[in-house]
Every structure is written in C-alpha cells, then in structure tokens.
Amino acid sequence: MSQDPIGLLGRMNAASLMLVTPEYFKVRAARTKGASKIRYEPANFKMKPAFMTLDGVKIRTAKGGNPDGPTVLFLSPLPQSILCYDKIWGALSDEASLIALDMPGFGRSEGDMSYMTFAAQSAFLEKFILEKGLRDVHIVAPDVAMPVALHYVVHRDHRAKSLLIGDGPGILPSTDGSLVKKIVHSGFWRLMVNMTGSRAFIAGANQLGYLHYRPNAEEVADYVASYSGRISQVSQYFKGYPEGLSAIDPHLETLDVPVHVFWGDQDAFLTTDNAQRLHKRIPKSALTIFKNCGHFCYQDQGVEFTQLVSKWIGGGYRMGEEDG
C-alpha cells in the first residue's frame, strides 16, 4: 500500500490539536528518529480477523495460537483495533491459545451508543466469553479496554484467570493528561475533536503515543476505517469516565484475581501515577513501568511487553497471588 491513510487534511487537523497539547512537545523531544511515521512495506499480518454476530451485533474477532496453551484474550484499545497486537500474536502463537475481540463500538465491530459505557461493555464481554466457551482467561486490556476488564471481574460472574491492564482509566481520581481532561470534561473540546474527524484523531494519538514504534500503513488504514464517522460516539464514552469509574473504584481492594498493571513512563494520556495507585490498592497485583516508553507500550516496547505477557501467563500470575 502506497497511499497515505491519514492524508494532508488529517495531518493539518492533528497538528492543530497538538499545538494545544503541552505533552506533545515533551514526547516529540523524546522520540527516536522516525518514530510514529507510517511505514509502507507490506504488513503480512499473522492475525487473521473474522466477523461473527453476537447479541445482534456484528463483531470482529481473531483466533489462533496453541490450543493446548493458556488462553489469552486481547481486547482492542483506542484508537486502534485488534491488529495492534499482531506482532505479539505471532510471538506467542506457539505457547498460548489466542483470541482477540474488537469490542462493540470500537475497532471494526459494530455497536451504537447503547454499548458506550463500562457496564454495557462488560456485559457484552461476559456474553462473548460464554459464547466462546472460554475459561481461566488471561485478559489483556489496555486503554479503553482496561475499565471494561475491571468492571467484568467486579460485577460479572467472570471466568478470568488474571488481568493485564494499563494505560487507561481505572481509579478515582484519574490523573489525566491535558487532552484526556479536555475530552472528558469539556463539551467544547469534544465538539472540536468530533469536527477534526477520525484521521486527525488517529494521527494525533500516534504523535502523542509513540516514542519508538512506526505503524504500518495497512494497520493505520484499519484504524481509520474503524473510527470513520463515529468519533462523536467515542468522545461520549470519554464523557462517561467519571460515572463509570465510580462503579469500579470502591471495589479495587476486593478484586479476586491476580492483576499485572503496566504503563509507559512517558504516557501523555494518563500518567504513571494511576499505575502506582492501582498497584497499592489491588491486593494481588504486580507493576511494570516500561522505561522510555509512550502510551501504546504494547507496541512502543513490543519485545519487552511480549516477554511480560509470556512470563505472566507461564506462571508469573501465581507469584502475584502469593505476593499480593
């Protein structure tokens, strides 16, 4: 693919957003040469997504790996899709049974405003896990998937073996970067983000979220297709963060599964203060702060992140159970 999936207008709109985002200048100064710039060689994805219908909603999933290994479920972050896990998918395919889900309303899955709350997402996640007959699932849930996974183990008859969560909302008060604060608390800024559209939203996220990684054009094109025409729906999801977190925060000390909290030390969206406070409050928890790493740490420090997942599902989660 040689065509730029963002385009000139998308880049100009993203640049205007970055000018009013103070963290951008710190991230830009820390980036390695070429970081966040799109690569144009063939993607050759290891993951082979497919569509299914559940609860009347067409959703995109993927399945692969070793059926005899521990089960790992990857939930899509924002503004990406399950394709963001492709390199991890390939690296873990010999040792784990892998499944991925674009949550309704995110990625390439359908889903209207009725799904844009933590409670609605966790209810759907419960149905998905039951439909797939999954048990003892290690759930990898960064970014917007993080509160969904937390709500699932707090309020549902869950089948989680452990959680790997990070880079997202999960505790009150949430310590947010300036852009997240704007979208959560300001109708004006939600309107501005809506008007700039999906291409600017994704271009801006890439510029803020990567210190090292260069996304592939096919990957970025998938993200653009995922959010074309529904940024306003996503911004309403941000608006609901405080109310949604009020159903999670009081239960952090009573979580009954091991949790590995991960974060990039240069996260410009939500600061590492969130990670440290979560680790203190969740009884069976481990904490990893990736050094010299942006918000999308599963790509920005992809080798280290893959090693974290491998060690955790290979028995590290038991250490979490013992050590707390």
Cα gap 47→60, rounded to integer Å = 12
Beta strand segments in the chain, E: 50-54, 57-65, 71-75, 97-101, 137-142, 160-166, 259-264, 285-290
Using one digit for the tens of pLDDT, what is the confidence trace for 149-187? 999 999 999 999 999 999 999 999 999 999 999 999 999
Neighbour-count burial of 253, counting CB atoms closer than 10 A to its CB (0-12 exposed, 13-18 middle, 19+ buried) = exposed
pLDDT at 5: 97
Using one digit for the tens of pLDDT, what is the confidence trace for 92-116? 999 999 999 999 999 999 999 999 9
Tell whether 101 is covered by a domain.
yes
58-79: average pLDDT: 98
Using one digit for the tens of pLDDT, what is the confidence trace for 289-317? 999 999 999 999 999 999 999 999 999 99
Cα gap 143→269, rounded to integer Å = 10
Assign residue 289 the CATH number of its domain.
Answer: 3.40.50.1820
Q: Is it the case that residue 236 has pLDDT exceeding 50?
A: yes
Q: Is it the case that residue 30 has pLDDT exceeding 90?
A: yes
- Bridge partners (DSSP) of residue 73 are 99, 139
The model carries a pTM of: 0.97
Tell whether 77 is covered by a domain.
yes
Tell whether 182 is covered by a domain.
yes
Tell whether 2 is covered by a domain.
no
Tell whether 1 is covered by a domain.
no
Cα gap 184→22, rounded to integer Å = 17
What is the share, in percent, of the chain residues with pLDDT greater than 90?
97
Q: Phi, psi (5° rounding) for residue 163? A: -120, 140
Q: Is it the case that residue 323 has pLDDT exceeding 60?
A: no
Using one digit for the tens of pLDDT, what is the confidence trace for 184-233? 999 999 999 999 999 999 999 999 999 999 999 999 999 999 999 999 99
User: For residue 28, what are the domain limits?
Assistant: 7-323
CA dihedral 37, 17, 272, 102 (to 10 degrees): -70
How many independent structural domains does the chain possess?
A: 1
State the chain's mean pLDDT as an integer: 96
